[in-house]
Amino acid sequence: MIMRREILPLSIFLAFAVLPLLGDFGSDAFILSIVTRVMIFAIAAVSLDLILGYGALVSFGHAAFLGIGAYAVGILSAHGIREAAIQIPAALIVSALFALLTGAISLRTKGIYFIMITLAFGQMAYFFAVSLAAYGGDDGMTLPGRSLFFGYDIVQSERAFYFLVFACLIAVYVACRMIVTSRFGRVIRGARENPQRMEAIGFSLFAYQLTIYVIAGTLCGLAGFLLANQTQFVSPAYMTWQRSGELIVMVLLGGLGSLNGAILGAAAFLLLEEGLSHFTEYWKLYFGPFLVLVVLFARGGLMGGFKRLTGTDDGR
């Protein structure tokens, strides 16, 4: 028998799986484009939740990994390399190396100092991208087309690309769920609750936190690869601190320490943005008070409300 806590993730992925069928009834391209973007940012939000929700590490530079993954695609495409078998490892490896180098420094600090140093590293990545005049500089660069898979244009159609992103989201969700429920994940959560006690019983928290930081950065790099392919455009704007802030809002809106919540938060944020932007360009003026109300009255975000309604206590 399926436990009640499995109903929500199954419902989420079932909805994503059947949504392309709605295209048979019209507005196919628009629906697929919006939901594809939701799933891409859901991957980025899930990766951030690993360090923010489970590790209590507030990073204001997480969008740097999104931009690094996108630029890996853009730079390779500019040199005629469009093969995904090369672009994906490049995006993941460069993101992981950046996370390793910056994490090794950032994690030697705590609290507000960690927030500020991740912000500094994120802005360094942003201004480095701006300085790349050969690749569009501040204006960004347009890609010649989507990535090739073994030389074939199998993701050129919106529907094919949708299912690629959907498969990546499932893979990332399953991998992250295995991580947070493992012994490694329990150490990360223990460090969030009582780091002194975890160190007293013999765990090297720096090594554990650096590992989860690298994993989160690598997964966000995958989201960057997908984002570059969806928009077929790469820009330094992907790396701004505002984008990092939006990822944090997605996690908070869905519920800290919940993989399901990160997906719901990304969906709620982007759908509200899409809906409100049709009425006014100052949509954030209305979204801000809404977020404040969620934080004040919906403890635990969307997942907190779901758990109270269903009586479940597992937000994975």
Give the percent of the chain with pLDDT over 90.
61
The mean of the pLDDT values for the chain is 88
**E-state strands within the chain:** 141-142, 233-234
**Residue 202 pLDDT more than 90?**
no
> pLDDT tens, 141-174?
999 989 999 888 888 888 899 999 999 999 999 9
d(CA 52, CA 254): 13
Residue 241's contacts (CB-CB under 8 Å, 6 or more residues apart) are 60, 61, 63, 119, 122, 123, 126
Beta partners for 216?
none
Mean pLDDT of 100-104: 96
**C-alpha distances in Å from residue 303, one per residue of 13, 32, 156:** 16, 25, 35
**C-alpha distances in Å from residue 269, one per residue of 106, 208, 294:** 28, 31, 12
pLDDT at 315: 47
**Residue 9 pLDDT more than 90?**
no
| CA geometry: angle 230, 265, 3, nearest 5 deg | 110
**Residue 293 pLDDT more than 90?**
no
DSSP letter assigned to residue 142: E
> pLDDT tens, 240-279?
999 999 999 999 998 888 899 999 999 999 988 888 877 7
pLDDT at 3: 60
Contact 18, 168 (CB under 8 A): no
- Name the nearest CA neighbour of 142 among 92, 93, 73, 89: 73
d(CA 125, CA 117): 12
Mean pLDDT of 90-105: 97
> pLDDT tens, 25-53?
445 677 888 999 999 999 999 999 999 99
Catalogue all structural domains in the chain, each as residue range(s) with its CATH number: 4-17+34-310 (1.10.3470)
Q: What is the pTM of this model?
A: 0.92
Contact 251, 265 (CB under 8 A): yes
**C-alpha distances in Å from residue 53, one per residue of 143, 233, 255, 282, 295:** 34, 31, 8, 29, 15
Segment among 9-13, 102-106, 170-174, 204-208 with least mean pLDDT: 9-13
* Per-position DSSP letters for 144-174, written without gaps between them: SSPPBBTTB-TT-SHHHHHHHHHHHHHHHHH
